[in-house]
Amino acid sequence: MEKNLGAIYKETMHELMPIHGEREAEIITGMLFQDLLHISKTDRILYPDQLLKPNQLVSLNNAITRLKTHEPIQHILGEAHFYGLTFKVAPHILIPRPETEELVDLIIKDHQRSEPRILDIGTGTGCIAISLAKKLPNSKVTAYDVSEDALKTAIENADLNAVGVTFQHHDILKEALWESWDVIVSNPPYIPLGEKSQMNQNVTGFDPELALFVPDNDPLIFYRTIGEKALKSLSSKGKLYFEIHESYGKETVELLERIGYQKVDLYHDFQGKDRMIRALKGT
């Protein structure tokens, strides 16, 4: 007997709940039906007796099998949504996180009435740089990454979202910042390698280590390096923005103050965790 849309939706949720929990299983199931099967929530509610096509069933079953290995839903769909935009994702780049949307939102609110020169360091998918270029159309945005593969995907994402961003291959730990910028932003690797064993498999098994981990003996290496180089390259009233490790908020603030930033503000994310920093070069 063929199963209808309503029954398959409930079965999919039931299969995913032991791995992802009820709330996340519901979100993932909704994404599968919306983005993989192209069945909207409205159609699913209005037409629960509708039957899936054979190719849709095959796609759904393949996706469920992959999800049971803890593979992220974004890799299965090949895309992620971030700040109202769509981004291609791949195993060699970090999947955009909701916390990073708050960092982007902070920058946009600070610069709505200006024409900033913006540098995004460690751009990955390009989600920060592209979102800023989209929402601050008078800005000039450049983005660096050490991974050439990441840059290729970021360029595709800029084209996908119809914005102009200059992407460049640079290793911030080895190279200076030669140009002048009004805004420098970075969501660099910040997880000490010793925390890897405590992390979820859908992160450690599928996100690139290059984008995640830092040495246990120097967890603030990127904040120190970028902070020192940015101080020389920011305009007189330029601002530096970071996404940070929730456990190193106070240490990162103190580090930037020692480097010479005049005002350093620490912000919480939507979960109440230390997550963002804004540092002003001048008063």
Instruction: Give, for all 283 residues of the chain, the pLDDT tens digit.
Output: 567 899 999 999 999 998 888 988 999 999 999 999 999 999 999 998 998 888 999 999 999 999 998 899 999 999 999 999 999 998 888 899 999 999 999 999 999 888 999 999 999 999 999 999 999 999 999 999 999 999 999 999 999 999 999 999 999 999 988 899 999 999 998 777 766 666 565 555 555 666 667 676 788 999 999 999 999 999 999 999 999 999 999 999 999 999 999 999 999 999 999 999 999 997 6
* Residue 3, pLDDT score: 79
Helix (H) or strand (E) holding 266: strand 263-268
DSSP codes, 69-95: TT--HHHHHTEEEETTEEEE--TTSPP
| Gap between the Cα atoms of 8 and 2, Å rounded | 10
* Residue 278, pLDDT score: 98
Find where tokens 């990441």 sit.
Answer: 150
3-state secondary structure of 218: coil
**Beta-ladder partners of 140:** 117
Instruction: Kindly report the backbone phi and psi dihedral angles of residue 232, in degrees, each rounded to the nearest multiple of 5, phi listed first.
Output: -80, -20
* Residue 92, pLDDT score: 80
Instruction: Kindly report the backbone phi and psi dihedral angles of residue 269, in degrees, each rounded to the nearest multiple of 5, phi listed first.
Output: -90, -175
3-state secondary structure of 239: strand
The closest of 234, 210, 206 to 222, measured between CA atoms, is 210
Read off the tokens for 71: 């593979």
* Residue 91, pLDDT score: 84
* Residue 174, pLDDT score: 92
3-state secondary structure of 142: strand
Return the amino acid letter for 231: L
* Residue 217, pLDDT score: 77
Count Cβ atoms below 10 Å from residue 35 Cβ, excluding itself: 17
3-state secondary structure of 260: coil
* Residue 233, pLDDT score: 96
